[in-house]
């Protein structure tokens, strides 16, 4: 081996191993215990977001062991690499939420930087929650080397007095406590059981919506999205993913080979058919951009219009993610949609969606309905336009009661979420009101905070069927009721929402696709011109850089 050639040059990692000048890296590898034989094998990065302060990721160290075992079994060399993962649950209702959506870009960039610096040959990515899964999908498509995603899996549902609950319902119980409908002791007892173990929150929130999206994009093994965090099935999928990545490297099958425009649209259709979160309108455009494809908020709205609503999972219904998994999961949804979508698209396991779905042994059509017996003719989200949202806004229509799909009421304006929450709990909101929360957009927030504390307060105080809420911020996937977010342009960019005053008559028409205020364009412009110049709330650090460079919500809040 006089020329010091250890590795076939078809592997990216050959540049780190081959040649006399690479003696230093080879010495490092040998110092870490690698043999000459291992230097010849493909190097597989295990990108792990394991985190001891995150219930959705606290178990990923164990899944990583399974992945590494699979990689070694298949003839690769695994290297575990970590990056950050923020838990939305810890950041609700305070300034910490400003950092959550911006973390998506940090995760994506960190993966790109490491993988391209160390010239890894393939990747298995482990993540499970709201911004982490989309960040990993973005990274996979940006870097475009052989890669497979293992999502961490949902948390088991909580059981209290023989009834299943998800974590978000605890926030709603705060209103019941204040109204005297439950005792302090009952509330504390529920606190102790609402998060029963590891995994993403047990509902069709953003985490599980995006895990379903990833499987429907063909970038996970079949059944991965529904396999719960504590299930043996999840461990098997992790190990099988480690085995499969070595074959993907040998065959040079990359994410962009799988995620075509057609596959992206199929994935979106699956997502809205099961009650997917409004946050998908931020993540799909960002993912599409990295894959050199297109998917706008308006395009998602059009897909939802032509997609039947097949599964009512909490918070939109009574079924849990465990019910969804046991009913057949993504495979059953694909079978249900087979008449209106092309399933003959190749996935990461080398088989088509149709081949994978045909292997299902059961499909519970009470939980995942057929198209003919759909809950509704449209999917979970509706995109609205009007003089309050010239560039659009979004609502999770699957969680809105019939009588609030069309509503007109007086504006109650608040300059931040905290002020609105205080007013709700103090009983200062009246039936028929339209709460306006502004200065919470991508630039103005900064970081476009979730308004879960406000929406949960509305439910807990009994306003979910009588009061609407509109904001340039965003919502948790746990949100239910007539809550409209992502209003674009946002307040900081002098969108019409900035012109609103208490008492202005706001009209919401979900079926008609509109959000408007009973003001003339001249009056809106007159009010906007009187507003002071926008000032960034944060003027240093990452959030300042983010606020300066981030696009509007209708474009996915991506960095320019």
Q: What integer best gives the mean pLDDT of the chain?
A: 95
With pLDDT > 70 as the criterion, what percentage of the chain qualifies? 100
**Which pLDDT score is estimated for 2?**
60
Is 555 annotated to bind a ligand? Reply is no
Specify whether 551 is catalytic: no
What is the pTM for the complete model shown? 0.96
Catalytic-role residue among 316, 464, 476, 492: 476
Task: Judge contact between 277 and 204, C-beta under 8 A.
Answer: yes
Taking only the tens place, the pLDDT of each residue in 378-423 is 999 999 999 999 999 999 999 899 999 999 999 999 999 999 999 9
Taking only the tens place, the pLDDT of each residue in 68-108 is 999 999 999 999 999 999 999 899 889 999 999 999 999 99
Is 131 annotated to bind a ligand? Reply is yes
Q: Residue 1 above 60 pLDDT?
A: no
β-partners of residue 468 are: 434
Q: Is 81 exposed, middle or buried (0-12, 13-18, 19+ CB in 10 A)?
A: middle
Distances (CA, A) of 91 to 27, 96, 418, 449: 44, 5, 13, 9
Is 358 annotated to bind a ligand? Reply is no
477 — pLDDT class (breaks 50, 70, 90): confident
Q: Could you tell me which residues come within 8 angstroms of residue 478 by beta carbon, excluding any fewer than 6 positions away?
A: 166, 167, 168, 171, 201, 203, 205, 315, 452, 455, 456
Q: Could you tell me which residues come within 8 angstroms of residue 396 by beta carbon, excluding any fewer than 6 positions away?
A: 275, 277, 278, 316, 380, 381, 475, 477, 479, 480, 483
Largest alpha-carbon pair distance within the chain?
A: 83
455 vs 519: which has the higher pLDDT = 519
**Cα–Cα dist 66/472, whole Å:** 42
The H-or-E segment that residue 246 falls in is helix 232-251
């Amino acid at each position: 081996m006089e020329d010091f050639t250890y590795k076939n040059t078809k592997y990216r990692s050959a540049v780190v191993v081959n040649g006399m000048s690479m003696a230093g890296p080879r010495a490092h590898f040998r110092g870490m215990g690698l043999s000459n034989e291992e230097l010849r094998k493909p190097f597989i990065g295990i990108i792990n977001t394991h985190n001891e302060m995150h219930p959705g990721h606290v178990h990923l160290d164990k899944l990583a062991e399974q992945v590494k075992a699979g990689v070694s079994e298949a003839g690769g060399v695994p290297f575990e690499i970590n990056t950050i993962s923020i838990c939305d649950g810890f950041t609700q209702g305070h300034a910490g939420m400003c950092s959550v959506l911006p973390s998506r870009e940090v995760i994506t960039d960190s993966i790109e930087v490491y993988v391209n610096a160390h010239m890894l040959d393939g990747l298995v990515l482990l993540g499970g929650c709201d911004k982490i899964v989309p960040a990993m999908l973005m990274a996979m498509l940006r870097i475009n080397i052989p890669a497979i995603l293992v999502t961490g899996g949902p948390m088991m549902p909580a059981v209290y007095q023989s009834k299943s609950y998800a974590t978000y319902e605890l926030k709603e119980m705060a209103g019941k406590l204040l109204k005297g409908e439950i005792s302090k002791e009952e509330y504390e007892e529920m606190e102790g059981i609402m998060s029963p173990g590891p995994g993403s929150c047990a509902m069709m929130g953003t985490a599980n919506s995006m895990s379903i999206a990833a499987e429907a994009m063909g970038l996970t093994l079949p059944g991965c999205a529904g396999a719960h965090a504590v299930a043996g099935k999840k461990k098997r999928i992790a190990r099988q993913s480690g085995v499969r990545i070595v074959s993907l490297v040998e065959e040079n099958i990359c994410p962009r080979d799988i995620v075509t425009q057609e596959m992206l649209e199929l994935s979106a259709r699956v997502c809205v058919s099961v009650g997917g979160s409004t946050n998908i309108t931020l993540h799909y455009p960002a993912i599409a951009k990295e894959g050199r494809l297109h998917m706008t908020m308006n395009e998602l709205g059009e897909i939802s219009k032509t997609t039947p609503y097949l599964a009512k999972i909490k918070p939109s219904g009574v079924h849990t993610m465990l019910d969804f998994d046991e009913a057949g999961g993504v495979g059953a949804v694909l079978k249900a949609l087979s008449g209106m979508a092309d399933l003959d698209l190749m996935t990461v396991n080398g088989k088509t969606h149709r081949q994978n779905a045909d292997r299902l042994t059961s499909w519970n059509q009470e939980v995942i309905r057929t198209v003919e017996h759909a809950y509704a003719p449209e999917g979970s989200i509706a995109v609205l336009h009007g003089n309050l949202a010239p560039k659009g806004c979004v609502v999770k229509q699957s969680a809105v009661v019939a009588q609030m799909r069309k509503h007109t009421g007086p504006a109650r304006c608040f300059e931040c979420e905290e002020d609105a929450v205080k007013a709700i709990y103090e009983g200062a909101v009246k039936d028929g009101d339209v709460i306006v929360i502004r200065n919470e957009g991508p630039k103005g927030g900064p970081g476009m905070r979730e308004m879960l504390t406000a929406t949960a307060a509305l439910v807990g105080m009994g306003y979910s069927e009588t009061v609407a809420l509109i904001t340039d911020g965003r919502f948790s996937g746990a949100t239910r009721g007539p809550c409209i977010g992502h209003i674009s342009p946002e307040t900081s960019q002098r969108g019409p929402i900035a012109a609103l005053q208490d008492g202005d008559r706001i009209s919401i028409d979900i079926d008609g696709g509109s959000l408007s205020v009973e003001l003339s364009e001249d009056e809106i412009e007159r009010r906007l011109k009187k507003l002071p110049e926008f000032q960034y709330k944060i003027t240093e650090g990452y959030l300042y850089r983010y606020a300066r460079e981030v696009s509007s919500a209708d474009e996915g809040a991506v960095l320019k």
